[in-house]
Structure 1
Amino acid sequence: MNASIKVFSLFILLFIVFSCKKESSKTTENTITSVEHAKGFDLVTEQNQTKIVITTPYPNSKETFSYTLGKNADIKTPINKVVVTSTTHIPVLELLGKEHTLVGFPHTKYISSEKTRALIDNGSVKEIGKEASLNTEILLDLHPDMVIGFSMGKTNKAFTTIEQAGIPVLINGDWLEETPLGRAEWIKVFGALYEENKKADSIFNTIKLNYQEAIKIAQKATTKPTILSGAIMSKDVWNLPAGESFVAQFLKDANLNYLWADTKGKGSLSLSFESVLDKGKEADFWIAPGYFTSKEQMLQSNQHYASFKAFKNDRIYSPALKKGKTGGVLYFELAPTRPDLVLKDIIKITHPELLPNYELTFFEKMP
């Protein structure tokens, strides 16, 4: 499992929790940072010394982690053998052409990419347990140059053991970013580790340009459909994205009327079924109805879902349906790195006339 799988039960957030603070590059006499949209890290050059500063390593963290890069530094770069712990890291390695450097991964069945699955199948990538309980014995035998992990809190026994063995661990907080482009910008961290900064910058700039162009396309829409999201996850509580959340940003950029856009918060809202029915009964589209994969499954859970206009009109779309050959959900793996494709999917669903030749990447109509 990985960070995205952890939030599967709150899948309605689609793109959960995230927002942009750094608007432009900052320069002082001795310090240069090229981070534009992410707020969880800085990539700093001071007197020819490159440093990665992780400012948001885990939720509500008050810690900051700093890693110097180079031949005689905290992390010796360029790295040649790596262990990563989230499927969201796989597309980044592939975009940089570095998937062959991956030697270990926890719960490899969640990896969807055919390219990396081929490396797993031929034994190049070893199974190292689960991210919450890494098999450190197997991991240490792989002798990676470093481990890129994620953490839900301050302590992690496995990471401590790895570091005591002399292998650096970089805590990746990309999943805590608050905007689509903020999360995608973490490719620059990997670029620095592989000394492929220019390539990482170029890839990110292309994704950013594609995203911004998609926003312009959405602005041409002559209608603004209303949007419902989420579903009842447990105890009759309907979870859906708050108005300042990651998904709400996507819906805003797609020129849509998300019915809870004016609510506060960057995470999820927990509402009663009655309140959601009252406000969302006539919504034109239902985007990401929890973990459900069919309308029949939804009705088996709650017959009242049939009361919604989007259900009746067959306008429910989910990214839970597209999976790799071993069951990994493509959205969880690739979407954080390619927000431009997520946005185009939403535009295609709700404003199909604006992207007549575009094929959906992540979403499918609920059968």
Structure 2
Amino acid sequence: MKKFLICLITSVILLTFVCPVQAAEKENTHTEIKGLTFDHSMELTYAEQFSVDYYKDGYALITIAEEGQFLVVPEGKEAPEDLDKKIAVIQKPVENIYLVATSAMNLFCALDALDHISLSGTDADGWYIEEAKKALENGSISFAGKYSAPDYELILDKKCSLAVESTMIYHTPEVKEKLEQFGIPVLVEHSSYESHPLGRTEWLKLYAVLLDKEKEAEQLFQQQAEKLEKIQDSQNTGKTVAFFYINSVGAANVRKSNDYVAKMIDLAGGEYIFRDLGEKDNALSTMNMQMEEFYASAKDADYIIYNSTIDGELTDISQLLAKSSLLGDFKAVKDGNVWCTEQNLFQETLELGTMIEDIHTMLTSEDETLDSLTFMHKLK
């Protein structure tokens, strides 16, 4: 009994003194930078792959999960002398950006900051964002080579101050190293790793830090968040949805169950037809299924959404059936519940709340004449 009382008292003492320390450590998660005074951290609703800490006098520290940290230095000021060498410096004004991550272009356009981009990793014919396409056509933005083969001479000639890359750059790490050797900080965009669709949209706030447009970013983000909030109050429809395209060898390319498209369907009040598909295979968000397997798993889906990103948009069901006659036996085809995405969908990162709204409307609308939404259209 005496031993029990001693253990109990010891536990109480430990809980009294240790737990507050742990709580304090959890709250105080910002990076201490010698010479700078911490002010506050950015509030994020869904994004988990980045954080932003603000310091006095206009400094900001961007931290990207598994990627690194970037100190954003105000115009006319310098980075602290003893700054950790692992922290890259981005000096304002941030101009002549080499933008390779296509998902970021829409966010720059939304912030009215296209003039900060001088170089693109995608040529005019690869853009479905009209502003970006026109900028490449009129020469205000130059094509500087894709991620694996940049035009270093052009990049240096344009006095590039920042390269915004997608995670594809990890396939060619020598390119990242080369850009950094030239003194160009390389920010690798990780929005594709966000578990929530609006986490991707919230990367708008990260780019706003570079452009001094945090208020505009917050307003734009809230518009999308409000669309989701309205839908979340509605009941789940119980209707199943298949999202796919047929590739060049006749297989169905589908999204894995933990992909953000599957999550959008769930948030819209539907059920993605594949509930436990390839979640642990690898980091890729899609996988191929032979048509026989796809047929067995998805033929009873209430709705079909055909992904037009790779082989172009469809206008009628006959075009879908030309890709595979097996699709004619699908419940959604027989019921006329077949939709196709617009090709700009995956470049419109800002509008993911609108896409969720579109799917919700598709699942709940009783208007038989409804044949077109913002990012989808019904096949005739």
- One of 154, 177, 192 as aligned partner of 1:175: 192
Bigger Cα displacement from structure 2, 91-100 vs 274-283: 274-283
**Per residue, is there more helix in 1 or in 2?**
2
Does the 8 Å contact 2:120/2:144 carry over to 1? yes
Residue aligned with 1:148, SS: strand
For 1:282, the aligned partner's letter is D
Give me the TM-score of the superposition, normalised by structure 1: 0.77
Cross-structure match for 1:130? 146
* Equivalent position amino acid for 2:374 in 1: T
The answer to whether the aligner puts 1:204 opposite 2:221 as a matched pair is yes
Identify if the C-alpha distance between structure 1 residues 271 and 91 changes in structure 2 by more than 3 Å, giving closer, same or farther: closer
> Once the 2 structures are TM-superposed, how far is the Cα of residue 184 of structure 1 from its aligned partner?
0.6
How many angstroms apart in 2 are the aligned matches of 1:75 and 1:203? Answer: 24
The answer on whether the counterparts of 2:278 and 2:287 sit within 8 Å (CA) in structure 1 is no
CA apart distance, 1:313: 3.1
- Post-superposition offset of 1:69: 0.9
Is residue 32 of structure 1 aligned with residue 41 of structure 2?
Answer: yes
Would you say how many aligned residue pairs link Structure 1 and Structure 2?
323
The equivalent residue for 1:66 is 69
Larger radius of gyration: 2
Candidates 315, 323, 327, aligned match of 1:305: 327
Contact kept in structure 1, 2:268 and 2:356, CA below 8 Å: yes
SS at match of 1:75: strand
Cα distance between partner residues in 1 of 2:371 and 2:231? 12
The answer on 1:157 being equivalent to 2:174 is yes
Larger RCO, structures 1/2 (Cα 8 Å, 6+ apart): 1
Structure 1 vs Structure 2 CA RMSD: 3.0
- Larger deviation, residues 292-301 vs 92-101: 292-301
| Separation of aligned partners in 2, 1:357 and 1:87 | 31
Indicate the residue corresponding to 1:251 in structure 2: 265
Residues 243/123 of structure 1: CA separation in 2 closer, same or farther (3 Å cut): closer
> Does residue 95 of structure 2 align to residue 80 of structure 1?
yes
Partner-residue secondary structure (3-state), 1:72: coil
- Where 1:130 maps in the other structure, the secondary structure is coil
Give the aligned residue type for 2:193: L
Question: Per the alignment, in what secondary structure is the counterpart of residue 230 of structure 1?
Answer: strand
Answer yes or no: is the 8 Å Cα contact 1:214–1:340 preserved in 2: no
- Call closer, same or farther: CA 1:277–1:66 in 2, change over 3 Å: same
Contact 1:106–1:128 at 8 Å: present in 2 too?
A: yes
Out of 53, 71, 75, the residue aligned to residue 44 of structure 1 is 53
User: What corresponds to 1:21 in structure 2?
Assistant: none
Tell me how far apart the structure 1 counterparts of residues 269 and 227 of structure 2 sit (CA, whole Å).
16
For 2:306, the equivalent position in structure 1 comes to: 288
Q: Could you tell me the percent identity over the aligned residues?
A: 22
Distance of 1:75 and 1:265 partners within structure 2? 36
Match of residue 103, structure 1, among 110, 113, 118: 118
Instruction: Rate the CA distance shift 1:89–1:268 in 2: closer, same or farther, 3 A.
Output: closer
SS at 1:133 equivalent: coil
Q: Give runs of aligned pairs for residues 216-255 of structure 1, distance below 5 A.
A: 216=233, 219=234, 223-233=237-247, 237-255=251-269
